[in-house]
Amino acid sequence: MPKINVTTASGKTKTITAHTGASMMDALSALGLVEGTCGGAASCGTCHVYFADKSIAGARTEDEGYMLEGLEEFVDIRAGSRLSCQIKITEAHDGINIEIAPDA
């Protein structure tokens, strides 16, 4: 099971262990690290995370791209910005560093 290093919006760090195939948002919300208000429909932005290494972040879905564009006036959108609900955890995520974005 991949271990993911997470920095919270308040700057605390923790390492979580996640199940391969699960949604990253589900893994983070189970620990109270993101809200995931829309349940994974890419329509709320409350699961926004920053990947430290944008090459690991992967490509945004079309809906995700529109959602992040809409958030741009409220929060910092970076090259490594992703909606964690749109990411399935794989072994490639083992050891990565992500940061929880501030609330929009």
The DSSP letter of residue 104 is -
Stretch touching ligand FES by CB under 6 A, among 10-18, 44-52, 71-79, 96-104: 44-52
38 binds ligand FES (CB under 6 A): yes
Of the candidates 27, 83, 100, 101, which one interacts with ligand FES according to CB under 6 A? 83
Among 42, 49, 57, 98, contact with ligand FES (rule: CB under 6 A): 42
Candidates 6, 28, 47, 71; binder of ligand FES (CB under 6 A) is 47
Q: Does the footprint of ligand FES cover residue 85 (CB under 6 A)?
A: yes
Position 18 contacts ligand FES (CB under 6 A): no
Whose CA is closest to 34, among 100, 83, 97, 78?
Answer: 100
| Alpha carbon of residue 45 to chain centroid | 10
DSSP-H helix ranges across 24-94: 24-29, 54-57, 62-71
Query: How far is residue 43's CA from residue 16's CA, in Å, rounded to a whole number?
Result: 25
Residue nearest to ligand FES (CB): 85
What are residue 2's phi and psi, to 5 degrees?
-65, 145
Which stretches of the chain bind ligand FES, using CB under 6 A?
25, 36-38, 40-47, 83, 85
